[in-house]
């Protein structure tokens, strides 16, 4: 089995921007394989380089403004990430792309899958919008399927 981790990133102070961190909290309640680490990456993605160096597969969960309906779930690779980054994307969208490049330059080439969720509302609030709360079971299902697909 591949050594894997799930990294949830985002700012929990900005409502739907924190979807990745909220997901990690929910995954702690689920039965997952014992060899999968759950990482609350917050907004300091550059502090996560070690995980990109130490794991064979990394699933990153973050809000992603791709221009579709709120709650849309994207499954993309780092190669596809550039086509999704818009001028109004969050800073951590760009940082994830940079950290993957940095890990590659250091000789690490983990399989990286990005599960992005189209935000509904981003403003100062620590609770997810109802739209993203409703999508949480689907996001969990997709992440679990990704863990099992080796």
How confident is the model over 9-31, as pLDDT tens digits? 999 999 999 999 999 999 999 88
pLDDT of residue 60: 94
Both structure tokens of 143: 């992440």
**Residue 87 has what pLDDT?**
45
Measure the CA–CA gap between 147 and 150, rounded to whole angstroms: 7
pTM above 0.85, yes or no: yes
Mean local confidence (pLDDT), 79-96? 59
pLDDT of the residue at 31: 83
More confident residue, 91 or 33: 33
Which whole-number Å values give the CA distances from 127 to 79, 108, 110, 111, in the listed order? 31, 36, 32, 31
Per-residue pLDDT at 91 exceeds 50: no
3-state SS, residue 86: coil
Arithmetic mean of pLDDT over the chain: 88
Q: Which of these CATH numbers, 3.40.50.1450, 3.40.605.10, 3.30.420.40, 3.30.70.920, describes 4-148? A: 3.40.50.1450
Confidence (pLDDT) at 85:
53
| Each residue's pLDDT tens digit, 40-87 | 998 877 789 999 999 999 999 999 888 899 999 999 888 787 655 554
Q: What beta strand segments (E) does 15-133 contain?
A: 36-42, 57-63, 73-76, 111-117
* Tokens, residue 115: 């599960």
Place of tokens 């399989």: 111
Packing angle, helices 130-148 and 19-27, rounded to 10: 60
With cut-offs at 50, 70 and 90, classify the pLDDT of residue 34: confident
Q: 35 pLDDT exceeds 70?
A: yes
Domain regions of the chain by residue span:
4-148
Radius of gyration of the chain (CA): 14
């Amino acid at each position: 089995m591949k050594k894997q981790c799930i990294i949830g990133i985002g700012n929990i102070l900005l409502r739907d921007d924190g979807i990745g961190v909220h997901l990690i909290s929910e995954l702690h309640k689920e039965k997952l394989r014992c060899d999968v680490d759950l990482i609350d990456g917050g907004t300091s993605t550059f502090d996560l380089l070690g995980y990109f160096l130490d794991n064979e597969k990394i699933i990153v969960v973050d809000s992603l403004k791709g221009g579709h309906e709120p709650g849309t779930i994207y499954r993309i690779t780092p190669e596809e990430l550039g086509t999704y980054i818009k001028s109004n994307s969050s800073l951590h969208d760009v940082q994830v792309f940079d950290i993957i490049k940095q890990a590659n330059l250091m000789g690490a080439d983990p399989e990286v899958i990005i599960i992005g969720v189209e935000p509904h509302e981003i403003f100062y609030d620590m609770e997810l919008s109802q739209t993203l709360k409703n999508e949480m079971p689907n996001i969990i299902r997709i992440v679990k399927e990704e863990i099992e697909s080796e």
